[in-house]
Amino acid sequence: AQSVAQPEDQVNVAEGNPLTVKCTYSVSGNPYLFWYVQYPNRGLQFLLKYITGDNLVKGSYGFEAEFNKSQTSFHLKKPSALVSDSALYFCAVRSGSARQLTFGSGTQLTVLP
């Protein structure tokens, strides 16, 4: 079985400050990890992924995420938040043998001007 936990339903951060959206996972074997963003009335958009290699992954719009195997975490980060980053963020995991992604419950990020 595979599962994802996003412990924070809501994250608020001031514009220009660094942001972190937390994600932990559980999976058999090596994980494939993803972050998606959802703007209002839109489908999910791919941000970044970790498959193998460097633990620090860089993605779209200045976002990055760090894979930590010992802590089974894949937190999303950005050094300087923008108001336009306000959206719903989903972490997802897949094991090598699974055919579908399992998504977390989502974290609503609000960047305050």
Partner 1 sequence: GAGVSQSPSNKVTEKGKDVELRCDPISGHTALYWYRQRLGQGLEFLIYFQGNSAPDKSGLPSDRFSAERTGESVSTLTIQRTQQEDSAVYLCAATDNRANYGYTFGSGTRLTVV
Per-residue contact track with partner 1, 86 to 105, x per CB under 8 A? ----x---x----xxxxxxx
Does 77 interact with partner 1 (rule: CB under 8 A)?
A: no
Q: What is the CA radius of gyration of the chain?
A: 13
Among the listed residues 111, 37, 112, 22, the one whose alpha carbon sits nearest the alpha carbon of residue 72: 22
By CB under 8 A, name the one of 19, 63, 85, 106 that touches partner 1: 106
For residue 68, which amino acid is it?
N
Select from 18-26, 31-39, 60-68, 74-82 the region that touches partner 1 (CB under 8 A): 31-39
Q: Name 70's Cβ contacts closer than 8 Å, sequence gap at least 6.
A: none
By CB under 8 A, name the one of 12, 45, 60, 68 that touches partner 1: 45
Angstrom distance (rounded) from CA 76 to CA 46: 13
Which parts of this chain interact with partner 1 (CB under 8 A)? 32, 34, 36, 41-46, 49, 51, 90, 94, 99-106
